[in-house]
Structure 1
Amino acid sequence: MQKTLFALALAATTLTGCSTPVAKLSDGADSIQVRIDGQFDGGKCEWLGDLTGSEGHWYSYLFFPNDVMIRGAINDLKSQAYTMGADTLYMINPQDFATSFTVFANAYKCN
């Protein structure tokens, strides 16, 4: 019984280790500008909506470092923003959880 459990755990670890948790970036979404600075003036842009981007699952922290999950959450935001027609994201408040990473942003069309 212990050997079976060990084999299952090893297989799950191996499979999880071979996959990447990073959300795929939509074609064209790499052009979205991410702003976090106080110099950004959203009043000069058209506000399109609030977005939430996240990456990670209850087990992710065991296999992936935070920087990988942060990149996935930002890719998620950028892909959503691109679908909305936005060209700029103003990040509001990152939420770093023990098992995942979530970011909140406002989407704008500035150009």
Structure 2
Amino acid sequence: MLLAGCSTPMATLNGDADQIEVRFDSHFDPQECQWLGDVTGSEGHWYSYLFFTNDVMVRGAVNDLRNNAQQLGADTVYMINPQDFVTSFTVFGTAYQCQR
């Protein structure tokens, strides 16, 4: 039971945050979008990182990124630069409203 909890990210998606598109490809063109702000997402802490695999920390960080973008009213996030630290994983992005 304890190990099952370690296979799921701590940051879970809120509401419709799973509908937010996360882009990191060079084909993304924000010309038709409204910039809403910069967002970050993070998973892992100095006291818990030993219990999570890298993919769980990445999933949690993206969930956190989407949740933060949702608070701005975004439907798209262009992920700029993932940061892999020893004890956590953090992603940075720019939130946009692209669909009208």
Tell me if both proteins adopt one fold, taking TM over 0.5 as the criterion: yes
TM-superposition CA deviations, 1:74-106 (whole Å, max 9, x none): 000111111211000000000001110000000
In structure 2, how many angstroms separate the alpha carbons of the residues matched to 1:104 and 1:73?
A: 9
In structure 2, how many angstroms separate the alpha carbons of the residues matched to 1:53 and 1:87?
A: 16
How large is the RMSD of aligned CA atoms in angstroms?
Answer: 1.5
- The aligned counterpart of 2:11 is 23
- The aligned counterpart of 2:24 is 36
1:1-111 aligned within 5 A: 17=3, 19=5, 20-111=8-99
Runs of 4+ with deviation above 6 angstroms: none
Q: Any gaps of 5 or more consecutive residues in structure 1?
A: 1-13
Paired residues, what number? 97
**Normalising to structure 1: TM-score of the pair?**
0.81
Query: Percent same amino acid at aligned positions?
Result: 65
Q: Any gaps of 5 or more consecutive residues in structure 2?
A: none
Paired residues of 1:91 and 1:106 also in contact (CA < 8 A): yes
**Aligned-pair distance for 1:24?**
1.3
Q: Which has more radius of gyration? A: 1
